[in-house]
């Protein structure tokens, strides 16, 4: 692999490397106390290189292309003046204190998704650090950070709060968002996480680049017209000159692992990575990460977001898979969401039965080849043979919340009993759970889609697109202005809530669930084979039994809004260890007994989750 970017070598020397195979001339214009324009030499693969001096960390630079336009570095590590400004030379030196860090095994991860800009009032990496002990107290073992690549925005006065973006509009995949704290800020956060025993997963986007500040096409054939994706031009992973594109993104993945000590990458929407070559980009990526894992002596993880319901994503390469460690399981979310909210618009029309959730608990994917009303075609393949730890599940995340017209969390969509029930189903499932920041205490602030593009025509186009998107999926009412500062401010977490009344009880409930998951052998074992699920569709009852050696648990889940009689339970003598209807959890009062046997009449409280052990 060939590393691209600006590399400070010490002693006022810096190496610049950029891929531009079709250009006739490339020079680097260094903006410093001793400005200079240094000509670069091209090799046979189209990489231009020069070692220039004197250059110091903090100096800025542009590339001059064919003696005409000046553009920032596609592999810039820092964009202090935003996406249209000069790139900056960075000194990567950092004092790490995590030399004994060995990571967190995937099956032990309790993931917690964070958007840096709205997680704290300050919206920075540094401001997250004081919150880590509280997350550790909750039981979180890994935070998953939404994308941090530099996004477009414009300053308003002396504040940088105008930089508002989810992160999926990034146009400099190597540059850490300057308003978050840049390179040093991210390293400080990762270092602090490791000191707390918390792993860090970073969300990266290899399926498209944002529309504003996207200058990669000026340098090389980074894009192809072979495909028609929904997000801008398709990246060129399999057409002429694709080797340089693949090198660019493979290098980016390794950059996060090597330079920032990141523990895992979450690959955004891999269905948008179009590649018909003999070795798919994802296969090559998995190979490179596996090699680096071996060199570092600790396991590095790749997880993927995919709506394909295709087990090839997570299967080993030896049996034709891409060898990604795990993937998000949207089917689980959709099945659970429809049961607790009753919503049936858009893709939710494909779900709504208790048996849907039961199938997901047994297998992972619900759609494994059958017809989908929403997609108007058959969808998916069977995941029954895939290990449980390869599926990441949730009841809330940035997409499922933020792509709603009002950005409502479950707090606004179901009752307090519904919140407890969904938490228990997720955290006591056989899969890897992910929480969305604030859900652990019932955060009431919305999480809406927000942007801060400086191109007003682009803002108008995005507004129109959002309006059409919401209409297509059945939402009524007026949309909102995603570029509004007020919309962004409303999305910030209200941290004080977690110490108030029901919010505090919910936080304690989440903490208790995580403790149960980590301590009880039958819950700690992530195994779909040691699991049995039955349903009573008419009464909206799900009964799940899980076991490990001599230990077993029995969950009775009532999705109905009324008390329901339970007719049959597995044989045995069962002792209650959790009941969401108990008054200690602000319930209306438990109706199921402390001990139960298979021959006694039973009644489950409305919207309740009760757990027994034997």
What's the pLDDT at 231?
66
For 179, counting Cβ atoms within 10 Å of its Cβ (0-12 exposed, 13-18 middle, 19+ buried), the class is buried
| Per-residue pLDDT tens digits for 187-201 | 999 999 999 999 999
Average pLDDT over residues 585-609: 92
Residue 348 to residue 473: CA distance in whole angstroms = 10
What's the pLDDT at 470?
72
Residue 56 to residue 150: CA distance in whole angstroms = 22
What's the pLDDT at 455?
79
What's the pLDDT at 454?
80
Give the lowest-confidence range in 245-259, 357-371, 444-458, 524-538: 444-458
Per-residue burial over 537-564, b if 16 or more Cβ lie within 10 Å, else e, is eebbbbbbbbbeeeebbbbbbbbbeeeb
Q: Give the closest residue to 146 by CA, choosing from 81, 98, 200, 215.
A: 200
Tokens of 321: 């898979």
Q: How confident is the model at residue 475 (pLDDT cuts 50, 70, 90)?
A: low
What's the pLDDT at 460?
81
Residue 585 to residue 524: CA distance in whole angstroms = 23
What letter does residue 66 receive in the DSSP assignment?
Answer: T
Q: Which residue stretches of 43-173 are H helix? A: 116-119, 125-128, 132-138
Tokens of 307: 């709506």
Average pLDDT over residues 327-339: 98
Report yes or no: 520 and 553 within 8 Å, Cβ to Cβ: yes
Kindly tell me if the per-residue pLDDT of 160 is higher than 50.
Answer: no
Q: What percent of the chain is predicted at pLDDT more than 90? A: 86
Residue 504 to residue 409: CA distance in whole angstroms = 17
What's the pLDDT at 572?
83
Strands 551-558 and 541-548, bridge-based pairing: antiparallel
What's the pLDDT at 597?
78
In the 3-class helix/strand/coil scheme, how is 291-302 assigned residue by residue?
Answer: HHHHHHCCCCEE
What's the pLDDT at 598?
67
Three-state secondary-structure class, residue 603: strand
Say which residue, 136 or 567, is predicted with more confidence.
Answer: 136
What's the pLDDT at 357?
98
Alpha carbons within 13 angstroms on the beta-carbon side of residue 206 total: 29
Contact partners, residue 335, CB within 8 Å, separation at least 6 = 351, 353, 356, 357, 360, 366
Say which residue, 219 or 481, is predicted with more confidence.
Answer: 219
What's the pLDDT at 478?
67
**CA trace torsion 421, 427, 432, 436 (10° rounding):** 70
Kindly tell me if the per-residue pLDDT of 542 is higher than 50.
Answer: yes
Domains in the chain with CATH codes? 5-88 (2.60.40.10), 107-148+157-204+301-514 (3.20.20.80), 205-300 (no CATH), 524-613 (2.60.40.1180)
Contact partners, residue 574, CB within 8 Å, separation at least 6 = 554, 595, 596, 597, 612, 613, 614
What's the pLDDT at 466?
75
What's the pLDDT at 226?
85
What's the pLDDT at 163?
75
Average pLDDT over residues 335-363: 97
| Per-residue pLDDT tens digits for 5-27 | 999 999 999 999 999 999 999 99
Kindly tell me if the per-residue pLDDT of 157 is higher than 70.
Answer: no
What's the pLDDT at 199?
98
Helix (H) / strand (E) element for 475: namely: none
| Per-residue pLDDT tens digits for 101-122 | 999 999 999 999 999 999 999 9
What letter does residue 605 receive in the DSSP assignment?
Answer: P
Active site residues: 268, 305
Tokens of 218: 């000026």
Report yes or no: 111 and 172 within 8 Å, Cβ to Cβ: no
Residue 198 to residue 140: CA distance in whole angstroms = 7
Peptide bond into 54 cis (omega under 30): yes
Kindly tell me if the per-residue pLDDT of 156 is higher than 50.
Answer: no
Give the lowest-confidence range in 89-93, 143-147, 178-182, 457-461: 457-461
What's the pLDDT at 101?
97
Give the lowest-confidence range in 145-159, 337-351, 379-393: 145-159
Mean pLDDT of the chain: 94
Kindly tell me if the per-residue pLDDT of 538 is higher than 50.
Answer: yes
Kindly tell me if the per-residue pLDDT of 472 is higher than 80.
Answer: no
Report yes or no: 429 and 361 within 8 Å, Cβ to Cβ: yes
Q: How confident is the model at residue 173 (pLDDT cuts 50, 70, 90)?
A: very high
Three-state secondary-structure class, residue 345: coil
What's the pLDDT at 75?
98
Residue 223 to residue 229: CA distance in whole angstroms = 11
Average pLDDT over residues 241-255: 98
Residue 443 to residue 168: CA distance in whole angstroms = 23
What's the pLDDT at 457?
80
Residue 61 to residue 71: CA distance in whole angstroms = 9
What's the pLDDT at 469?
72
Average pLDDT over residues 226-253: 91
Looking at the DSSP bridge assignments, the partners of residue 533 are 544
Tokens of 297: 């002596």
What letter does residue 41 receive in the DSSP assignment?
Answer: E
């Amino acid at each position: 692999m060939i590393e691209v970017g600006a590399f400070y070598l010490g002693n006022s020397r810096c190496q610049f490397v950029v891929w531009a195979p079709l250009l006739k001339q490339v020079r680097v214009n260094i903006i410093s106390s001793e400005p200079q324009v240094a000509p670069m030499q091209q090799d046979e693969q189209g990489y231009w290189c020069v070692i220039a001096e004197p250059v110091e960390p903090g100096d800025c630079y542009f590339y001059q292309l064919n003696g005409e336009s000046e553009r920032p570095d596609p592999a810039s590590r820092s964009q202090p003046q935003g996406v249209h400004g000069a790139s900056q030379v960075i000194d990567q030196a950092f004092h790490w204190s995590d030399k004994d860090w060995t990571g967190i095994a995937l099956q032990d991860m309790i993931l917690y998704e964070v958007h840096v800009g709205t997680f704290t009032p300050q919206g920075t990496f540094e401001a997250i650090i004081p919150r880590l002990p509280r997350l550790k107290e909750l039981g979180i073992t890994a935070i998953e950070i939404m994308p941090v690549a530099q996004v477009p925005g414009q300053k308003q006065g002396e504040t940088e709060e105008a930089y508002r973006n989810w992160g999926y509009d990034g146009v400099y995949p190597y540059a850490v968002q300057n308003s978050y704290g840049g390179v040093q800020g991210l390293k400080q956060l990762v270092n602090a996480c490791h000191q707390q025993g918390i792993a860090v997963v970073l969300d990266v986007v290899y399926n498209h680049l944002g529309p504003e500040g996207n200058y990669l096409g000026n340098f090389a054939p980074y894009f192809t017209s072979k495909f028609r994706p929904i997000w801008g031009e398709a990246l060129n992973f399999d057409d002429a000159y694709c080797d340089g594109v693949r090198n660019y993104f493979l290098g980016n993945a390794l950059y996060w692992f090597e330079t920032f000590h990141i523990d895992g990458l979450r690959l955004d929407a891999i269905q948008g990575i179009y590649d018909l070559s003999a070795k798919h980009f994802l296969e090559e990526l998995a190979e490179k990460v596996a090699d680096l894992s071996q060199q570092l002596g600790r396991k590095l993880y790749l997880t993927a977001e995919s709506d394909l319901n295709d087990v090839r994503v997570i299967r080993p390469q030896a049996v034709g898979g891409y060898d990604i460690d795990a993937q998000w399981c949207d089917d689980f979310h959709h099945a659970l969401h429809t049961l607790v909210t009753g919503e049936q618009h858009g893709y939710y029309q494909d779900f709504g039965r208790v048996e849907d959730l039961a199938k997901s608990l047994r297998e992972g994917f619900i759609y494994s080849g059958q017809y989908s009303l929403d997609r108007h075609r058959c969808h998916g393949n069977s995941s029954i043979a895939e290990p449980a730890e390869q599926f990441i599940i949730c009841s809330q995340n940035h997409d499922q919340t933020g792509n709603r017209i009002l950005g409502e969390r479950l707090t606004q969509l179901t009752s307090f009993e519904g919140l407890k029930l969904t938490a228990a189903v997720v955290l006591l499932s056989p899969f890897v759970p992910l929480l969305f920041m604030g859900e652990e205490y019932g955060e009431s602030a919305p999480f809406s889609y927000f942007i801060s593009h400086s191109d007003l025509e682009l803002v108008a186009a995005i507004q129109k697109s959002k309006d059409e998107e919401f209409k297509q999926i059945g939402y009524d009412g007026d949309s909102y202005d995603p570029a509004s500062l007020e919309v962004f401010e409303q999305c910030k977490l209200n941290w004080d809530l977690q110490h108030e009344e029901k919010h505090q009880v919910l936080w304690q409930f989440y903490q208790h669930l995580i403790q149960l998951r980590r301590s009880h052998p039958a819950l700690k074992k992530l195994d779909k084979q040691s699991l049995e699920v039955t349903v009573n569709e008419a009464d909206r009852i799900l009964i799940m039994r899980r076991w490990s050696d001599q230990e077993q648990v029995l969950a009775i889940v009532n999705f109905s809004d009324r008390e329901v009689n339970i007719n049959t339970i597995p044989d045995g003598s069962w002792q209650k260890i959790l009941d969401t209807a108990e008054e200690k959890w602000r319930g209306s009062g438990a109706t199921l007994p402390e001990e139960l046997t298979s021959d006694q009449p039973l009644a489950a409280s409305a919207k309740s989750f009760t757990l027994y052990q034997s």
